[in-house]
Structure 1
Amino acid sequence: MKRILAVALACTSIIATAAEPAPDVSLTRLDCGRATEPWPLDSFDDTGGADGMKKAIVGSCYLIRHGERLMIWDTGIDPATSGDPDGGFFLDRTLVDQLAQLGIAPADIEFVGISHYHYDHTGQAKDFPQATLLIGKEDWQAITHDPPLGNANPAHFPAWVSGKAKVEAFAGDKDVFGDRSVKILATPGHTPGHHSLLVRLPESGPVLLTGDLAHFTANYEREGVPTYNTGRADTLASFDRFKKMAKNLGAKVIIQHEPADVAKLPAFPKAAH
């Protein structure tokens, strides 16, 4: 009898666990800068496919809610460089200001995910020094190398470089919350540790954020490789993987610098669910 009761209780526990609702997942687009003027695009395709083209581009960052847990994906430019012609971006509002409008303080952010080490994706990371930094292993090595490699800037990561905050520097993919709802995807080539992001939304379906795998629509369609990418073969392999995932999952693709793509998501402060 005791054994039967134990089995029954175990089954009840399994059923109860299976019946627990999955955490609500949402995606909010955040403003992380806009081009001060249309950018010449010649260097964005090493085959000449973008020669003579110019385009107004944007910088975009994202807030991911996983139940009560919060993650930021990319952090835009440093506000101190806003309007600098060398940087080429103007920032209207900081991430901290935008999050405050949602009732979120910097200390509420559990994870800061970085697609790659370029300045327009890392500039406000330092405003979240209590968060765990999620970044590709090779990119973190570039940031912490003496001297830094490429144009990686350790000044954007003071809490993590000093060891005062936690870093998860990983090769390959990263399942952020352990339930496949938010997955950081290895897409090297733009930088050695470049990553993209998959967010599975319960209502509107999967969304794929490119990072800088591509910078604008024609660049994505033609699989243009910028002249300054660190690995041409890696870039093309990453395009192949990303596009096959988008097709197989039926995902909405958001090219993070493409205004038309960013506009596929609800305007701030609304979120996609």
Structure 2
Amino acid sequence: MNRMPVYFLSHGGGPWPYVDDMRQQFAKTEQEFIALPGRLPAKPEAILVITGHWEEKDFTVSTAERPPMVYDYYGFPEHTYHIKYPAPGSLKLASRVLALLSNAGIAAKEDARRGFDHGTFVPITLMYPNADVPVVMLSMKSNYDPHQHIRVGQALTPLRDEGILIIGSGLTYHNMRGFGRDESTPIADAFENYLSEAVKQNNAEVRNDMLAKWETAPGARLAHPHEDHLIPLMVIAGAAGEDKGRSMFVDHVMKVPMATYEFGYGK
């Protein structure tokens, strides 16, 4: 099987595909997520998601056979708290992830109750609406150490040759007070430009060093006061190995860019 590319997806705001006004705003993102499976060399055996909505003291792998839903958003219409995405989990993949991390000397735990948050179910619902691809989640570590997360990605690289699609789900800009404000646009643009420049580096060591030093980028802490939505990119950069990355597309919503990056180019 051909090696799978890896992706960092800017997943947008809350359950946006299920809210008409928001869905119109994210029309470009919706189109791109729907088309993404066509970029892959084959349908994945399973998907591993590192989501910006799950952090633990230690790296943790979801082991639920039938993952429940996690409605981790507020103030949305009532029907968005009844969304179901019935994709199965995969004990096989979860065990493989735990083994790869263990072999790399990285401590990890299991969670048999963790469900799909919107950073997980929103993009994957659009990609695989029939919920016919198993999904496993890997938490971030709550210290947000970029180097540790890059190392985790490096440990997971073999999955790409085993038919597993690895996705990091977050946002390139995540300042809740800044969305929709004119003054946020140049800040978000400058920070995304830094990330894009890092991602496209030919040398993986240079790329990973730039990402690890993200706080030195223009507007870094204004773009990410809390870096939960950025750290999944570190895992993806590690999993990319020597593969060069690129900006697959940028959507502009609420006056800020939301970029999605691809490593190991798809079709």
TM-score computed with the length of structure 2 as normaliser: 0.31
User: 1 or 2 for the larger relative contact order (CA 8 Å, sep ≥6)?
Assistant: 2
TM-score computed with the length of structure 1 as normaliser: 0.31
Q: Which has the higher helix share?
A: 2
Larger Rg belongs to = 1
